Amino acid sequence: MNATNRVLARADERFFLWSAIAMALVIVAGFSLQLTAGRSSFQAPMLVHVHGVVFMGWLVIFLAQNALIATGRVGWHRPLGWLAAAWLVPMLVLGWLVTVAMVREGRVPFFFRPLQFLIFDPLSLVTFIGLTIAAIALRRSTDWHRRLHYSAMAILVGPGVGRLLPMPLLAPWAWEATLSVTLLFPIVGMLADQRRMGRVHPAWMWGLGVQLAMIVTVEAITYAPLGTLFYDAVVAGSPGAAVAPLDLAPPPGPPPVATGSPP
């Protein structure tokens, strides 16, 4: 590797490490705000706690992997990478179980359409896993590997972003608004490439393109008869069956006080 390539490689390592730290800070800030504001509680079902531990575990792995590369500890990076690959399985299972449980119990956040929530939550996770698997498959092509992992992680930043945005004010486009923010991460990566190398690496086009395809697919299924059939099958025999698939629930809080009526 010549001197120019070494300089570019070091710049890449710094960019991806600081980007991983920024993503982690957004996620931690979002969930911390949620807890501080009293919008979440440790009284949540055990399934939710296990889900949270597993997903936060991925965040730790992602940070550790970038730190190991930035500090030249490649020997630790590789075995941790295989642990990360195995970690995808419980993430997929728990993500699906929590989503279905919330929809069946009629506990979808009031700024999301229940059917859209049922579609976008698992499909976002599948898209994240697909990009991550592609990154693992291309692990010998470091430039592709890093950028696809980064694009995948940008999807997981969504829940953190959503907890920082004024979601009730963004309804009925709260999910789309959240995705718009997460798309800024790969766009920043493209701009950083342009500044460092004078060109945009094609891996960004794939990462961004896959995410845009996911958005189009979610919207298409949400408003298609197939989506309604799927929703009805999932909520059958549960309290969620009483919730209209495309209606937004009323915001939580005390009912309005009636005025002008006799006592």
**Is the per-residue pLDDT at 101 higher than 60?**
yes
pLDDT band at residue 222 using 50, 70 and 90 as cut-offs: very high
In a domain, 199, yes or no: yes
Q: What residues have CB less than 8 Å from 94, skipping those under 6 apart?
A: 47, 50, 51, 54, 55
In a domain, 260, yes or no: no
- As a whole-number percent, the residues of the chain with pLDDT over 70 amount to 93
pLDDT at 174: 95
In a domain, 92, yes or no: yes
pLDDT at 253: 62
Residue 55 domain boundaries: 3-235
pLDDT at 201: 95
In a domain, 263, yes or no: no
From residue 156, give the alpha-carbon distance in Å to each of 4, 20, 46, 182, 238: 33, 12, 21, 9, 29
**Is the per-residue pLDDT at 74 higher than 90?**
no
**Is the per-residue pLDDT at 41 higher than 80?**
no
pTM: 0.91
In a domain, 81, yes or no: yes
Average pLDDT on 156-174 reads 94
- The domain tally of the chain equals 1
pLDDT band at residue 112 using 50, 70 and 90 as cut-offs: very high
